[in-house]
Structure 1
Amino acid sequence: MTDHRSWETAEKLPRDGLVSPVVGDVGTRSRARASRGTWLGRLAVLTGLYLACTAAFKGQIRFGNQPHVGVEYRVGDVKWGPCTGEGEVEGAECGTQCKCMCSLLQSLKWQESGTDIVCSVPLDYTDRDAGVAKIALGRYKSTSGNRKGSVFLNPGGPGSPGKWLATQMGPYVQMLLGEDYDVIGFDPRGIGETEPQTQCFPSPGTHFAFIANTVLEHGFDVGPNLTDPKNRDHLIHQQREADALWQTQMRVCEQTMGDKLRYMGTVNIARDIEFMTSLLDGEGAPINYYGLSYGTVLGQFLVNMFPDRVGRVVLDGVVDAIDWTTFPAYKWGRHLQTSSEAAYQRLMSACAEVGPLRCALAKKENEDPDAIMSRVESFIEDLHYHPLAVHNATMPGILTSGRARLLLFAAIEAPELWSIAALALDMAMNGDGSAALDVQRASIHYDDLQRSAISCNDNTVPDVPTAEEVIDEHLWVLEHVTRFSLAGMVLETDFGCHHWPVTPPERFTGPWNHTLRNPILIVSNTADPITPLATGKLVNERFGSSSRLLVQDSAGHCALAMPSLCMIGNMRAFFADGTLPEEGTVCPMDGSQFPDSDAVNAYTVEDKKMLESARRVAKAMLKKW
């Protein structure tokens, strides 16, 4: 609950679950890790901020170095204006969030920017001299005539921008969540149009050139025999190469960004959402939120930091925030990838079901799925010894077993792209690796270190792991959990945080099971390769009566990856009036992972609109290829 007292008083208050790196124990002083993007923590309660920051300001405010007299502003205002970017939908609005410490600043720096007003604000709630930042946001307003507030969106990552989810996808998001809410998309700290940006390399092309054709792009080549000592030695060598690359890029980041890196992380993002809710919906208004994948980590921070502000919150594709903040990333596979093999099997079973006309990997009708998988696995094993030369890809190269495994892992996360992956693999198995190489490269993150700036600031790593420790952990997971263990390490890019050069001002360490003002809705699907149903059940049990679990019977990363009218109906009912699904509800998916036009024609016009909206939002929030 936010304490509306002065900042000076708030500095002296104990902060539940918030640990200063100066006074915390050894584990809280170190950092590292985590899952998709950029933001950071802060050591001061947001208390009193709204009352102080929305007070009317009159008199002299400086624009650059020039005094501007006689203009009235409220610190914390958002000036909305029409969006001018390509692809913006009619009715979308863009603006800049002005989040300030007011009384702590001797002067506020403002800039004019088209129809927006940019408010320069402190980076660090615990240090008024740390500098300033601005947050970009977009809004698609309620269309029902019965506005109930704002819903903030986070597409995961971490590191993904979110402003455009409102400005370009707003109508489709409203089809899923209801028309009673303003859809609010925003670019978190370090991302997109928000400043400062996390930009360690001069350009995306420079970062691409740095990791191109290294283990960070082509993945780990794992031999077929997991017990062969030579296989282990080879993997240790690859891990040492990967670790040196992580260390190098983080030193580059330290040189180019310095202490600015401290001000990215999930604690700050949660504070930003809490403040923006007060600004847009009124002081003390309930916080409404919809987050996927890493966005569920942000959601767990948000509801546990502000349990008395929780309104309608949906978390889809759950990552355990305790794992995220306390375990080094190389140990996540034991928990996060427990459904990877089930998702892989779903791909093969669906391929066998639809046959060769819709899945290129199938060679006859009603083929045994295990026969299809056996052919694919034999091909990948052979690539370990005989990489495939690919001269006709967009960028010529070679298709290795590591690349093929990365392609498959990215595919099982995105079921509606299974037909593309199947065709690419079939072409490669017939000697043409161009499509496979192009598709695999498209699944790799080349967008600088935005993700690391969030995950490494959130995480605590007590010790620097050796290459042997990392590989032995993955060999265990490869043998007992999933063959995609090392593919996950490359695609998720949350590793190497023991080289992170800065320490954030604060971290949130729980508790993670607060009683909430309103129960939240937790969503998991049955065959999610990276955020499994088991984790959704774990987090749901942790919240007790403050949450309800809704399950969707489908493969892919997050339930949103496959459309379901049952799921959409339950989410709309939840946002409408808090209606929770019955305990044990399991929603079926609608449609096939391999598109079928005849099946689509069986739906009503309204259902088709719902399903199409879900597909559009899924492609936006769960971008693949």
Structure 2
Amino acid sequence: MPGHYSWPASQDEKQSRVGISLYDHQCPDTAKPTRTKWLGRAAMLIGLCLLLSTILKRCLAGLSGMPDANYRVGDIKWWPCTGADDVPGAECGYAIVPLDYFNASAGVAKIALGRYKATGTSRKGIVVLNPGGPGGLGKRLATVTGPQFQDRIGEEYDMIGFDPRGIGETEPRTQCFPTPEAHTAFIANTVLERGYDVGPDLTDPANRYHLIQLQRDADALWQTQFEICAKTMGDTLRYMGTSTVARDIDFITSLLEGKDALINYYGTSYGTVIGQYLVNMCDIPIVQAMNIHGVVDADDWANLPAYKWERLWQTSTEAAYDIFTDDCAEAGPSRCALSKSDDEPGSDILRRLEQFLEDLYDKPLAVPNANPPSILTNGRTRLFLLGALQKPATWPNTADALDRAMKGDGSAILQRLQDGQYLVDLERSAVSCNDNKPFSAPTPEEVIDEQLYVLEHISRFSLALVVAEPDAGCQFWPVTPPERFLGPWNHALRNPILIISNTADPATPISNGRRVQESMGDNARLLVQDSPGHCSHALPSLCTTKAMRAFFADGTLPEEGTICSVDASPFPLNGTAQEYSEEDAKLLESVRRIAQIVSRKWD
């Protein structure tokens, strides 16, 4: 396969796109047994105009966070952003899109947008950004880090961020509980907040029995939450799935760039699922350039129940854990608080950490100085460690917090866990459960036996991931979305996409990136970044960033088998910084800034 693609459309391609309306991209209607085309733009707009005055108010009555009935599909508005973190020149806005792309009478949705305009001399269009989650506030990627994303992607593009369906400032929003505090109170000190406490002997029947009891609690909690959602939100919950988000991106691109405009997209983590939907849902290619980082396999996401994901998605977690302890040992006591001597191997640090976790199973640590006061348990500490492995730039602070806990003060760990909470309601469940193919409810025994296998053979963080990535319980989800795309995932594309995976990503392993690349064949190219952490921005790499810029500049792909090293260490050595050119130093700082903002979980 050639390594360079020229993107200007041929005359035939331009003609094939002319006349294709915003609703007519020949995407399959996966909610029905037959395939249908999207409704024509003119018919939809006329129908909406006729129906809005008489039907829309009735449709929207009582629905939380629904846009005002006076909005019209296709409305778009911009104004200068005024938030404390927003950069000069950033614009905030919204776009009005159909609530249901298959039912004109359902009403409208109001998608929150952010824009940072191109600063280069020759504007090429827009790049739509998504930070993952589900639950990440994409609007702020443009309004807070727009300049840094231009450094990474190219100054010739407008950076467009958006809050997806049900999330952030987008309306309708997912709001099952009256306030975020009410939801926090509901899960406080339950297994959904403190995690699963796993005993040291995975073969002990008592340990299995204990975990099954916790799973019964978890199932009842999920069922209760979803029944609350059904009462407070009703059918509005149907419209939060990824299939609808993909249509929103296409719709918004058409509003901003014209009906024949192709999509440019950059997504990380769950944002890679959105990307895979975009390139596979439609019968004709609607994407020009796509770059996805930290890959979630959309086939697993859509077609497997969540309790079976860990077997596939935890294959790099232990590698990241080993790098953390080995790098700490190499840094020594002066730079890593967990290291006890200059010649101590990482295996000794790992052994002490695991012994600490085993001790917490039998005797949780009282933490009276936390705000609020609480206890540090085996499950909470494993959750903390899993989150820390995703962010190697925080490893010095992580080591310090763990060292303090091992000496009797767990307040730093509890504070980090509290600060890391970013889902204000059931935003994530509304996406993952609308996407997930219905399945027979597994018994608690089946779930725990699967998790025990993963704990023993793949990763000791398996049950921590269940809580950290709350996608479980979809057997209790109360609604059916208007559309649920389940594949296939090997669509022929106009241009190959660029996939980037880390060698030791504890959340989205390199095996996912390889599987997606293999399923797409010549339609994708995989670049590997040799580093720990979640997504390529976890540690900055000039090699990776320059490959991205070349890709968005003119379609240049890295050579097959390219492996990029990083230009930073989790435990930096003071006074030995490598010298970089002014341009390269700016690129590295931009990646650090993006990682810093994304790691805040948009709270």
TM-score, normalised relative to structure 2: 0.90
Deviation at 1:550, TM superposition (A): 0.3
Deviation at 1:74, TM superposition (A): 9.1
Does 2:207 correspond to 1:207?
no
Deviation at 1:49, TM superposition (A): 2.8
CA contact (8 A) 2:26 2:38 kept: no
CA contact (8 A) 1:404 1:440 kept: no
Deviation at 1:123, TM superposition (A): 1.2
Of stretches 173-182 and 502-511 in structure 1, the one that deviates more from structure 2 is 502-511
Q: Distance in 1 between matches of 2:549 and 2:251?
A: 25
Q: Distance in 2 between matches of 1:464 and 1:474?
A: 16
Aligned letter for 2:462? S
Q: Distance in 1 between matches of 2:17 and 2:280?
A: 12
Structure 1 segment 93-104 matched on structure 2, within 5 A: 93-99=91-97
Count of aligned pairs:
571
Q: 2:164 aligns with which of 188, 203, 222?
A: 188
Deviation at 1:596, TM superposition (A): 3.9
CA contact (8 A) 1:564 1:611 kept: yes
**CA offset digits 1:146-202 (Å, max 9, x no partner):** 111100001000011211111111111101001010000011111111111101111
Does 2:120 correspond to 1:144?
yes
Structure 1 191/490 Cα, relative in aligned 2: closer, same or farther at 3 Å?
A: same
Counterpart position of 1:109:
none
Does 2:419 correspond to 1:403?
no
- The secondary structure found in structure 2 opposite 1:524 is strand
Counterpart position of 1:312:
289
Q: Distance in 2 between matches of 1:75 and 1:418?
A: 47
User: Higher relative contact order at CA 8 Å, sep ≥6: structure 1 or structure 2?
Assistant: 1
CA contact (8 A) 1:266 1:301 kept: yes
Q: 2:40 aligns with which of 21, 44, 48?
A: 48
Counterpart position of 1:522:
499
Counterpart position of 1:256:
232
Counterpart position of 1:510:
487
- The secondary structure found in structure 2 opposite 1:334 is helix
Q: 1:417 aligns with which of 372, 375, 394?
A: 394
What root-mean-square deviation, in Å, do the aligned CA atoms of Structure 1 and Structure 2 show? 2.6
Counterpart position of 1:170:
146
Q: Distance in 2 between matches of 1:410 and 1:221?
A: 17
Q: Distance in 2 between matches of 1:397 and 1:61?
A: 53
Counterpart position of 2:511:
534
Deviation at 1:84, TM superposition (A): 2.3
Deviation at 1:19, TM superposition (A): 2.1
Deviation at 1:5, TM superposition (A): 6.4
Q: Distance in 2 between matches of 1:217 and 1:595?
A: 33
Does 2:471 correspond to 1:494?
yes
Aligned letter for 1:79? K
Q: 1:337 aligns with which of 297, 314, 323?
A: 314
**CA offset digits 1:89-115 (Å, max 9, x no partner):** 11111221133xxxxxxxxxxxxxxxx
Q: Pick the structure with more strand per residue.
A: 1
Structure 1 600/285 Cα, relative in aligned 2: closer, same or farther at 3 Å?
A: farther
Q: Distance in 2 between matches of 1:14 and 1:148?
A: 26
CA contact (8 A) 1:76 1:279 kept: yes
- The secondary structure found in structure 1 opposite 2:129 is strand
Structure 1 7/171 Cα, relative in aligned 2: closer, same or farther at 3 Å?
A: closer
CA contact (8 A) 1:3 1:48 kept: no
Q: 1:224 aligns with which of 195, 200, 205?
A: 200
Structure 1 596/374 Cα, relative in aligned 2: closer, same or farther at 3 Å?
A: same
Q: Distance in 2 between matches of 1:493 and 1:314?
A: 26
- The secondary structure found in structure 2 opposite 1:225 is coil
CA contact (8 A) 1:407 1:443 kept: no
Counterpart position of 2:61:
none
Structure 1 segment 43-122 matched on structure 2, within 5 A: 45-46=37-38, 48-49=40-41, 76-99=74-97, 122=98
Structure 1 441/88 Cα, relative in aligned 2: closer, same or farther at 3 Å?
A: closer
Identity of aligned residues (%): 58
Q: Distance in 2 between matches of 1:14 and 1:592?
A: 47
Of stretches 127-136 and 570-579 in structure 1, the one that deviates more from structure 2 is 127-136
CA contact (8 A) 2:72 2:96 kept: no
Structure 1 238/51 Cα, relative in aligned 2: closer, same or farther at 3 Å?
A: same
TM-score, normalised relative to structure 1: 0.87
**CA offset digits 1:545-602 (Å, max 9, x no partner):** 1110000000011111111011000000000000000111000011111244434463
CA contact (8 A) 2:27 2:281 kept: no
Aligned letter for 2:473? G
Structure 1 243/440 Cα, relative in aligned 2: closer, same or farther at 3 Å?
A: same
Deviation at 1:132, TM superposition (A): 2.3
Q: Distance in 1 between matches of 2:413 and 2:573?
A: 23
CA contact (8 A) 2:131 2:268 kept: yes
Q: Distance in 1 between matches of 2:212 and 2:36?
A: 42
Q: Distance in 2 between matches of 1:130 and 1:282?
A: 25
Structure 1: stretches of 5+ with no match in the other structure: 25-42, 66-72, 100-121
Structure 2: stretches of 5+ with no match in the other structure: 1-15, 58-70
Deviation at 1:353, TM superposition (A): 1.0
Counterpart position of 1:38:
none
Q: Distance in 2 between matches of 1:522 and 1:356?
A: 38
Q: Distance in 1 between matches of 2:583 and 2:245?
A: 36
Q: Distance in 2 between matches of 1:355 and 1:50?
A: 67
Deviation at 1:311, TM superposition (A): 1.0
Deviation at 1:77, TM superposition (A): 4.2
Structure 1 46/135 Cα, relative in aligned 2: closer, same or farther at 3 Å?
A: farther
